[in-house]
Copies of this chain bind each other. A is one copy, B any other.
């Protein structure tokens, strides 16, 4: 089930023109897990809140208007990808962004997102100015 059944085009010139990039398979796998963790509005909003300062679960639950359980689950996903860090302080457990890196990621994404008003009815072909 992994073999392309349709006939292939022959475009090996392009393959030759590729730049070499150090992209290992495992790094790619991890990066995708990281993106997936951030790929949920609710979780991303949580990161946004934590970007403004540390907070405990029930605090976040109150702000979001969700159950503590739900928030805890969301934080668990973020924690699994080391996006947030947890520290016990007396009765509560405080969550914080793991590092500035995370924030950069979020801002980069928002920058990209605000450049183009999302995809809806974009023309079939963005530009069409070259020879056959």
Residues from chain B with Cβ under 8 Å of A132 in the complex: 89-90
CB contact under 8 A between A31 and B110, given known A21-B48, A53-B18, A88-B125: yes
How far, in Å, is A16 (CB) from chain B's closest CB?
9
Judge whether A113 and B27 touch: CB under 8 Å: yes
How far, in Å, is A38 (CB) from chain B's closest CB?
4
How far, in Å, is A91 (CB) from chain B's closest CB?
7
Judge whether B9 and A92 touch: CB under 8 Å: yes
Given contacts A15-B59, A28-B110, A87-B126, 15 further A-B contacts (CB under 8 A): A3-B67, A4-B62, A4-B66, A6-B61, A11-B56, A14-B55, A14-B59, A15-B55, A18-B53, A19-B53, A21-B52, A31-B109, A32-B39, A32-B44, A87-B128
Residues of A participating in the B interface, judged by any CB pair closer than 8 Å:
1-9, 11, 14-15, 17-21, 23, 25, 27-41, 43-45, 48, 51-56, 58-59, 61-62, 65-68, 79-82, 85-92, 99, 101-102, 104-106, 108-116, 118-119, 122, 125-128, 130, 132
